[in-house]
Every structure is written in C-alpha cells, then in structure tokens.
Structure 1
Amino acid sequence: MSAAEFKGKTGLVRLWNALGYSRDGLAAAWKNEAAFREEVLLAAIAIPLAFYLGKTGIDRALLIGSIVLILIVEILNSALEAVVDKASPEKHELAKRAKDMGSAAVLLSLLNAAAIWACVLWP
C-alpha cells in the first residue's frame, strides 16, 4: 500500500496505523542507533529516580520531561541522518552541516536535562 492510500483513513483505522508506524520507528531506532539505546538506558535509570527525588508533581514532570525530550531529539536526529544519507550518500558540505546540526540538537537536549535536574534538585 502506498503512503497516499493511508491519507484517506480516519478514526480508529488511522490511529491504529499511526501506532504501528510509531512502533516501527521506535524499533528501528533501537535496532540501528547505539546512541538511542544508551539514552534509553539513561531514561530507565533517571525516570524512576525522578519519581523518588521529585518533591512535587511539577518537579517530577520537569525531571521526566527533560529525559523524554532527549529521546525525542535523538529520534529526530537519527531520522534526519537517514534522510541525508539516502539523499546524498557522497560527502557534501550541506550534508555535513545538517548532520552536525542534528548532533548539536542532541547535545542541547542533554545540557537542558542537566540544567533542569540541577535546578530542581539543588535548592
């Protein structure tokens, strides 16, 4: 089935299809991206810790949200890298720039999480 055939789907069929695509994306990230697997390990440690260390619901939301954001940015970075590799398999300055900027986004998400954890946990 082509992508255009799914565009007309609505309601529960569309939701079901979207969940399948999301599952496939998570599986692809897990299978192909070592950085994603490492960040999932970080999340597996940090999220339970956030429930324990957070004093309020807002504290816990900030701590957990900052970790989930890392995973989101990593998946987007991996998707960007896959598209760049497909579109331009040879070395090119624009391809390098796109990949470097994706990597910078991951770094910023990690620094963001560190800053949030420091602000929440260091009174």
Structure 2
Amino acid sequence: MQQEIIIKREGIHRIIYTFVHSFNGFKWLCKNEAAFQQELMLFVPLSAFAFWLDLSAMHTLLVMLGMVSVLFAEMVNTAIEAVVDRVGLEYHMLSGVAKNIGSALVLLSMICSLAIWGTVLWLR
C-alpha cells in the first residue's frame, strides 16, 4: 500500500496557498454558476447605488453586508450541491433535503438583505 505524503504548509506559504485556492473558487463561481453571476450582477450596481445615496457609514455597511450575505449563502449552496452531486446523481431523499436547505439559506439571506435595504431606505 502506497502512503500519501501530506505537506503541511506554514506561514506565508499557507496564506498564499489559501488565497490561490480561494481565488480559484471565486473564479469558478463567476464563470460557471448562473445564480452567483446574477447575484453578483445585482451586487455591483446596488453597491454603487448605496454610495450614491450618500447614506451614513453604518447604513452603507449594513446594506453592503446584507448583499454580501447573499453571495456567501450562494457559495455555501453551490458547495453543498457540488458535494451531493459528487457523491451520486441518483435520487436520494437526504440529497434532496441538503439541496433544499442550501436553497432555503439563499432565500433567507435574500429576505434579510431586502429587509435591510427596505429599512435603510425607509429611515432615509
């Protein structure tokens, strides 16, 4: 039996290695995941709009974090879907449950982001 040698990266090499893999994941999402692309296409103009509104720093931060939470949720949902599909493409009830919970996470983050936007605009 052949043993696999695992190299444990430390210090700056670990940080660089992590950054490269994170960038590759983000690049993959931007290129291949339609839902992430759509949410990113909303994030960019809405971010510009938030700054154009000349909101307070706290309100700008809140709306930005609300929108970033949607992107985070979509990343988690996509990761769940990728793992479930990697395990097997045949139907299994628990696979459906995992995918539905990931989808619910995205929906909940969108509702929270909308609530933040609505509240900030109402207070303005």
TM-score computed with the length of structure 2 as normaliser: 0.91
In 2, Cα distance between equivalents of 1:101 and 1:3 = 36
Aligned amino acid, residue 29 of structure 1: L
**Structure 2 counterpart of 1:108:** 108
**Structure 1 counterpart of 2:96:** 96
Residues 74, 54 of structure 1: alpha-carbon distance in 2 compared, 3 angstrom cutoff? farther
User: Per the alignment, in what secondary structure is the counterpart of residue 122 of structure 1?
Assistant: helix
**Structure 1 counterpart of 2:78:** 78
Aligned residues: CA RMSD: 1.5
Unmatched segments (≥5 aa) in structure 1: none
**Structure 2 counterpart of 1:4:** 6
Structure number, greater radius of gyration: 2
Aligned length: 120
Q: Residue by residue, what CA displacement relative to the aligned partner does 1:45-69 show, whole Å, maximum 9, x if unpaired?
A: 1111111225211000001111111
In 1, Cα distance between equivalents of 2:97 and 2:5 = 29
Matches within 5 A, 1:111-122: 111-122=111-122
In 1, Cα distance between equivalents of 2:23 and 2:117 = 29
Unmatched segments (≥5 aa) in structure 2: none
